[in-house]
Amino acid sequence: MKSEQRTSAPAPSPAVHAPSSPRTGAVPAVRVGVEEEYLVIDPVSRQLSTRADKVVAEAAAELGDRATTELTRYQVEVRTHPHTSLTALDEDLRHTRRAVARAAARLGLRVISSGTPVLGQHTPPPLAAGQRYAQSLATFRALDHEQTVCACHVHVEVPDLTTALAVSNHLRPWLPALIALSGNSPYWDGRDTGYDSWRTLSWGRWPVAGPPPYFESAGHYEDLVGRLVTSGTVLDRAGVYWDIRPSHHVPTLEVRVADAAPTVDDTLVLAGAVKGLAAAALTAVRDGRPGPRPEAEMLRAAYWRAARDGVRGQSIDLPSGRLRPASRCLDELWSSALPALGPGDLTTVRAARQRLAGQGNGADRQRAAYRRLHSHLDVVDHLVRQTTS
């Protein structure tokens, strides 16, 4: 989740969201790309393997530098190319997942896409090589000890920082719904945490993480980030870990709120939601409409509820503070996102949404796998199958 040592990244297109607001003019074309993080598993013990660097080296034959290491030696990160079509993104995701799975298999290993490991891990975990990771450990200390967590990041291509921040302002209120949608980390250290997204709670302990502020201007952003760097709160600009952030090295806005998705279909649902919300947001920005400004305290509360309850529990209505079914919040999300998607994208998203409605999110499916034989080993095996299904 913390790796920034790369030469390229997914390039997506501008986006901005306003809940169910009237739109004028054509919907902007949006390009998106995805970063996925996987855990490397020993297929016999089902425990984490420290050979992620070997898997990355093996996968490089097919993926080049699009496969990289991450904070710990348990993790692999893979990036897609940018795509305007979700159909093309689908093909790219299946190729990258299978390439990593084949590379792992040649080494006698497996990969899973889960927000957290199911079984126990060594604490502190073995960190990947590199000065940045050593500096992170020296600065953040025990915070690095429980960061064997994996996310799915969707990049939206934007023309400039001002547009990126305006889009971010519009997307902020949807972050809890995206957490519920993508929850896929119920287990930690061999126990059920009671949360659909334990990764959200674990990651939220970082000093600059969680929902971003509402930014008044590019100058506001630059000033705040500059002070965070000067104060030693982050190592550098790449260490700003808000759940929406402008990339510091490519022209994208990165939506990084989601757990690693169990299947390609789950990743496509997330990417489709972000793409549609982003296109709606771009329209709102073009029309001069400011983003909603929920109170920071209520947004944080909505994060907690979404991480706990997922898609089948309750969510917090940000304007009123009242509880309501999470399904209603998701219905509103799709009411805003779907009109901004083209016919091909709609077909992809609707098929994946039907599966989500019937089977729940990744956390629901992990728990269902556990209930069959009351075995955490079965949960790991389930995730191995899901990752390349």
User: Could you read off the pLDDT of 174-226 as tens digits, one per residue?
Assistant: 999 999 999 999 999 999 999 999 999 999 999 999 999 999 999 999 999 99
* Residue that wins the pLDDT comparison between 101 and 251: 101
Those residues with Cβ within 8 angstroms of residue 169's Cβ, 6 or more apart along the chain or in another chain? 16, 214, 215, 290, 291, 293
The chain-wide mean pLDDT, for the chain, equals 91
Buried b (16+ CB within 10 A) or exposed e, 2-12: bbeeeeebbbb
pLDDT at site 124: 84
Supply the pTM of this predicted model: 0.92
Rg over alpha carbons for the chain, rounded to the nearest Å, is 19
pLDDT at site 45: 96
pLDDT digits (tens, 9 = 90+) for 215-239: 999 999 999 999 999 999 999 998 9
Give the C-alpha separation, 311 to 288, whole Å: 33
% of the chain residues with pLDDT over 90: 80
Those residues with Cβ within 8 angstroms of residue 321's Cβ, 6 or more apart along the chain or in another chain? 298
Distance of CA 174 to the CA centre of its chain: 13
pLDDT at site 15: 33
pLDDT digits (tens, 9 = 90+) for 114-156: 999 999 877 788 888 888 888 888 998 988 888 899 999 999 9
pLDDT(162) > 70: yes
Structural domains of the chain ordered from first start: 32-387 (3.30.590.20)
pLDDT digits (tens, 9 = 90+) for 270-295: 999 999 999 999 999 999 999 999 99
Give the C-alpha separation, 192 to 185, whole Å: 9
pLDDT(20) > 80: no
Range with lowest mean pLDDT among 29-38, 116-125, 303-312: 116-125
Instruction: State the CB neighbour count (10 A cutoff) for residue 14.
Output: 27
Q: Residue 3 — very low, low, confident or very high, per pLDDT cuts 50/70/90?
A: very low
Mean pLDDT on 148-173 = 97
Q: Residue 83 — very low, low, confident or very high, per pLDDT cuts 50/70/90?
A: very high
pLDDT at site 26: 67
Mean pLDDT on 341-368 = 92
* CB-CB contact of 34 with 79 (8 Å): yes
Count the alpha carbons within 13 Å of 315 in the hemisphere toward its beta carbon. 27
Mean pLDDT on 287-316 = 97
pLDDT(158) > 50: yes
Residue 71, token pair as written in the block: 């904070």
Mean pLDDT on 78-98 = 97
Q: Most distant CA pair in the chain: distance in Å?
A: 57
Mean pLDDT on 284-307 = 97
Residue 45, token pair as written in the block: 């013990």
Q: Residue 2 — very low, low, confident or very high, per pLDDT cuts 50/70/90?
A: low
* CB-CB contact of 271 with 152 (8 Å): no
| Phi, psi (deg, nearest 5) at residue 2 | -110, -5
pLDDT(11) > 80: no
